[in-house]
Amino acid sequence: MNLRTLTPLLVSLLTGAPVALAQPAQPAAQPAQKSASPSSVQGATPLPGQPNLLASGVPEIPPELRKRVLQYLETRSANLMDVSRDGKQVLISTRFADTNQLHVVEQPMGARFQLTFTPEPINSAVFHPKDSNVLFFMQDVGGGEFFQLFRFDRRNGRSEMLTDGKSRHEALLLSEDGKWLAYSGTGRNGKDTDVYVAPTDNPRQARRLTEAEGSWYPGDFSRDGSRLLALQFRAADDSDLHVVDMKTGERRQLTPKEGKGSIDGAVFTPDGKSVYVVTDRYSDFTELYKLELDKAPYTSAPPSLTKSIRWNVEGIALSEDGKTLAVSMNEDGYSRLYLMDTKRGSLSPVELPRGVMTQFTFPRGRSDVLVYGVTTSKSPADIYMLDLRTKKSTRWTRSEVGGLDTDTFVEPELVRYKAKDGVEVPAFLYMPRERKGKVPVVVVFHGGPEAQSRPWLSSFTQYLAVEMGMAVLTPNVRGSDGYGKSFRAMDDGVKREQSLADIGATLDYIASRAELDASRVGVDGGSYGGYMVLASAAFYPERFRAAVDVVGISSLPTFLQNTQAYRQELRRVEYGDERDPEVRKVQERISPLNSVDRIKAALFVQQGANDPRVPQSEAEQIVKAVRARGSDVWYMLALDEGHGFGKKANRDTITMATFLFLEKHLGTPSGK
């Protein structure tokens, strides 16, 4: 609902007992047990020096490629976690060794003082509101996403785990007075996600504030700590907002019981009488509304505070005095920051680097500065502090880009093209500056599917364009976020079959550009993007030469059957219920696994063994099915990763192998 609840939770678990974080620790809980053999793919064996990374059919990476790509792999970013009450300490997550860890920055461009030293990444943390020497963070083991809550004391450098070590937890939030913390967890039955609250002075005494079917998350505490906003999440387009009494547990729904819509942000006003809410319930776009609690639930649409801007509100933050509301808009993929005078309702734009805001927040004790993170197509995420009086930003971090000259990086062109049924597809096209004749193209599909390709720095994209002389096209096919709820709903359920036409439209667009080589097209994508990769190879077999599937879905029915229990109903809303025979017919028809006989492109499949979302079986069944036809398939499996690759050693090797694969099948770098 705000920075403190929506910070990405890509974190990992250490131990059930207090332990100095600088020391290795044994995990208290592991993801689901695996069979004796870590992989069913023939020939999957550990790489020399990397026993947790298995490979089958992948050749050795040449030293010259390793040397060429090394600097790009050293790119890092500064991810905003929190800011101290007085605004003098900024808590960030960044990587100096193998994984993202917590650091504190105490002045503009000051040293990043590292706090945690763990083998697993930490990407979710908050300060204690009254004592910045104490912070809380979440972490999992091996990418399994069964996050646990920890308390860390900077005075002695020690941490203790506060949750059960086996359930999944997320959405960490602390009250303004520092007396309460809230989070969500699956401890009741392993399937439903409830909201828990606990006193910060005795956090092990947590109690369930909500106990209901489905997924519930904490949103925002009232300033006096007496009430909590709770989000009931069913799907990206179907959520409700409730206010819960902290003492009695009494719950009142604020959004109408009829109809549906998203909830993409909610925060109490300082007096606790109203709530600012970001929702698309009353419009095609997510807009900002102010709900007066004594009038909720509203029977008709309240006035929109952002109706003059026909794009999605992507985030809000309210100043301590309640006079200023920071509003970030997603305008055609780029972030635009506005400051709203809450008394007059006027919006004033603020000049920022042209890119994507990552997180932003006001210090709890100040109203004159806003701390934010932003990334552009040529620079990684870094932290800035905006002075609201002068409207000037001061840079607090400068993340390294491997010593590379970012002036050599390419900025994307925002393009649009239409599918045969008239649906328009927005996309970002990165063109190499130096080219001789037509250049090969790599299409990169985003995950989600309710996500969006945006113009942020990707060292992967820049290496392809700058070093390998390849164009990169990142489409936002129907079903993507950022272009209104009607566009996002175009691929729901059985309509997903229609969305596959956007692959053909993408290929037709490539063919329409004289500088692009439509005979040398590769495709890359992760998660749902991995499904799109496999669908591209299966349903447009003559038009792709190479396909890189990262933790992707190969069969919609088996994916829905085997994903973690806490995710099944959420994903059935998006993909359709595989238990319905008519729905399953469509799912089977558009599942790449059932069309492997059509695949002609070279295939490289990458997977994390602990993936709770898209299980390892999805990767291995497509590898074995394609190989059974006599095709050569590269396969890599990381035993200590989940839905993606959070450890640098794994990510580096997999990325280098990907470049080797694309170079082999699409051609050598132009002019290299």
33-54: average pLDDT:
88
- Predicted TM-score (pTM) of the model is 0.92
Scanning 485-612, the segments in alpha helix (DSSP H) are 485-488, 496-499, 501-512, 528-539, 556-562, 565-575, 581-589
Q: Which helix (H) or strand (E) holds 181?
A: strand 180-185
Predicted confidence (pLDDT) at residue 32 exceeds the cutoff of 90: no
Predicted local distance difference test score (pLDDT) of residue 8: 33
Split at pLDDT 50, 70, 90, the class of 672 is very low
For β-strands 356-361 and 369-376, DSSP reports them as antiparallel
Q: Which helix (H) or strand (E) holds 105?
A: strand 100-105
Predicted local distance difference test score (pLDDT) of residue 615: 96
Bigger pLDDT: 628 vs 12:
628
- Residues 448, 453, 454, 460, Cα dihedral to 10°: 110
Split at pLDDT 50, 70, 90, the class of 436 is confident
Kindly state the percentage of the chain with pLDDT values over 70: 94
Split at pLDDT 50, 70, 90, the class of 308 is very high
Q: Is residue 55 within 8 Å of 48, Cβ to Cβ?
A: no
Bigger pLDDT: 158 vs 11:
158
Q: Which helix (H) or strand (E) holds 666?
A: helix 648-666
Split at pLDDT 50, 70, 90, the class of 160 is very high
Predicted local distance difference test score (pLDDT) of residue 28: 35
551-572: average pLDDT:
94
Each residue of 599-655: pLDDT tens digit? 999 999 999 999 999 999 999 999 999 999 998 899 999 999 999 999 999 999 999
Each residue of 194-230: pLDDT tens digit? 999 999 999 999 999 999 999 999 999 999 999 999 9
Each residue of 71-106: pLDDT tens digit? 999 999 999 999 999 999 999 999 999 999 999 999
Predicted local distance difference test score (pLDDT) of residue 169: 97
Each residue of 247-302: pLDDT tens digit? 999 999 999 989 999 999 999 999 999 999 999 999 999 999 999 999 888 878 89
586-593: average pLDDT:
97
Q: Is residue 83 within 8 Å of 91, Cβ to Cβ?
A: yes
Each residue of 237-248: pLDDT tens digit? 999 999 999 999
Each residue of 445-504: pLDDT tens digit? 999 999 999 999 999 999 999 999 999 999 999 999 999 999 999 999 999 999 999 999
Sign of CA dihedral 597, 599, 603, 607: negative
Q: How far is CA 537 from CA 523, 534, 544, in A?
A: 8, 5, 6
If one counts every other C-beta atom within 10 angstroms of the C-beta of residue 445, the result is: 31
Predicted confidence (pLDDT) at residue 20 exceeds the cutoff of 80: no
Alpha-carbon Rg for the chain, nearest whole angstrom, is 24
Q: Is residue 46 within 8 Å of 632, Cβ to Cβ?
A: no
The residue type at 557: P
How far apart CA 4 and CA 126 sit, in angstroms, is: 7
Predicted local distance difference test score (pLDDT) of residue 37: 87
397-403: average pLDDT:
96
How far apart CA 396 and CA 92 sit, in angstroms, is: 11
Scanning 14-124, the segments in alpha helix (DSSP H) are 63-73
Sign of CA dihedral 300, 306, 309, 312: negative
How far apart CA 370 and CA 553 sit, in angstroms, is: 40
| Chain centre to alpha carbon of residue 634 | 26
Predicted confidence (pLDDT) at residue 558 exceeds the cutoff of 90: yes
425-448: average pLDDT:
94
Q: Three-state secondary structure along 607-662?
A: EECCCCCCCHHHHHHHHHHHHCCCCCEEEEEECCCECECCCHHHHHHHHHHHHHHH
546-568: average pLDDT:
96
Q: To the nearest whole number, what is the mean pLDDT of the chain?
A: 92
Predicted local distance difference test score (pLDDT) of residue 668: 63
